[in-house]
Structure 1
Amino acid sequence: MRRTLAEQVVVRPMTLDDLGAVWRLGKSLFTGEISYSKRLWTEDELLARFVDEPPLCLTATFKDRVVGFTIGAILRRAGSSWATGYLVWIGVSKRYQRKQVALKLYRELERRLRERGARNVIAEVETRNLKALGFMRKAGFHEDHTVSFLKKRLS
């Protein structure tokens, strides 16, 4: 029986050797077409996340080539026993999108967040990013409008 592409993809911890490929993939995906995010895809952001929580930085590889990645974090509030998982970034090469690779990455991240005490997971998605919203719903997320981001142009 033939295995699906997602079954052939290996999800594993990101390594230092992966950072270049992850950086290039992220740069190709996060082009700025979706205009506003409080997070920017920069080398510093990638490196800081990789150094801060390496077990929550994962890559998806196919035939030893990086085809996707996800980066998560644990958020803890002082005085609270609750921990919240944060899906910071997730990206899959366009050629491998809609083939269950992102879902496989996310499920492994969720498992690791749960192991670290997370009781829920949050993520930010721009409302115009319909592909990302569709993926997030498929992964079990629902919209929670507890925060509004406001913007003001300074002249």
Structure 2
Amino acid sequence: MSQEVQHEEDAPRIREMIIDDLAEVFHIGEEVFTAEYSQSLYRTWDEYEITTLFNSDNELCIVAEHEERIVGFALGTTVKKHNSPWKYGYLVWLGVRRELQKLRVGERLFKELKRRFKDQGVRMIIIDTSADNEAAIRFFKKHGFDNVQEHVYMTLNLSKRHKKRPVKKQ
């Protein structure tokens, strides 16, 4: 099987997201961030995620466009902690149409967002993903992320009846 080489002129164009892109970005996110992707996704993919980031940090909301079609997006923000000299970049969402995930669209989006973070004085970029999202972990390690920290994340399914366990008396 021969590998297809992507020429620069064929590569998607990375640009700042505009208001007309919101619906398409939302639909790509619906396609990528499904219950099958992560049954316990702790951040819900919804229109508020996009509009909030677009309204607060629109220069950190970017899209990849190919042949006049949005094929991927990255949504970021910055965080400045009280009493800390550091400014952090937080890559909140990175999504690429499934059929194009092997064409380095995510890499191009990440590199552009990283450049924008640097321009804003960010000293460290933070991402988070599910511990079982091996593709995302590989992607971010490939781009220099390390110091993997696992955190406990718990859910309680309220649609199931839970029996109270008797407390043992001593």
Give a deviation string over 1:83-122, Cα, whole Å, max 9, x none: 0110100011112111111000000000111111110111
Q: Which residue of 1 aligns with 2:43?
A: 39
Deviation at 1:23, TM superposition (A): 0.4
Structure 1 residues 3 and 119 mapped into 2: Cα distance closer, same or farther (>3 Å)?
A: same
Structure 1 residues 95 and 4 mapped into 2: Cα distance closer, same or farther (>3 Å)?
A: farther
The two structures have a TM-score, normalised by structure 1, of 0.91
Give a deviation string over 1:45-99, Cα, whole Å, max 9, x none: 1111110100000000001100000001101101222101101000111121111
Query: Which residue type is aligned with residue 99 of structure 1?
Result: L
Query: Which residue type is aligned with residue 61 of structure 1?
Result: E
Q: Does 1:18 align with 2:26?
A: no
Query: Does the 8 Å contact 2:6/2:103 carry over to 1?
Result: no
How many Å separate the matches in 1 of 2:6 and 2:136? 26
Give a deviation string over 1:20-42, Cα, whole Å, max 9, x none: 10000000000022123331111
Aligned residues: 153
Whose RCO is larger (CA < 8 A, sep 6+)? 1
Deviates more, 1:10-19 or 1:128-137: 128-137
Partner of 1:111, secondary structure, is helix
How many Å separate the matches in 2 of 1:125 and 1:7? 30
The partner residue of 2:33 within 30, 34, 44 is 30
Partner of 2:136, secondary structure, is helix
Deviation at 1:4, TM superposition (A): 2.3
Query: Does the 8 Å contact 2:35/2:41 carry over to 1?
Result: no
Q: Which residue of 2 aligns with 1:9?
A: 12
Q: Which residue of 1 aligns with 2:96?
A: 92
Deviation at 1:127, TM superposition (A): 1.2
Query: Does the 8 Å contact 1:84/1:118 carry over to 2?
Result: yes
How many Å separate the matches in 1 of 2:12 and 2:155? 43
CA RMSD for the aligned pairs?
A: 1.8
The two structures have a TM-score, normalised by structure 2, of 0.83
Structure 1 residues 68 and 85 mapped into 2: Cα distance closer, same or farther (>3 Å)?
A: same
Structure 1: 5+ residue stretches without partners:
none
Q: Which residue of 2 aligns with 1:134?
A: 138
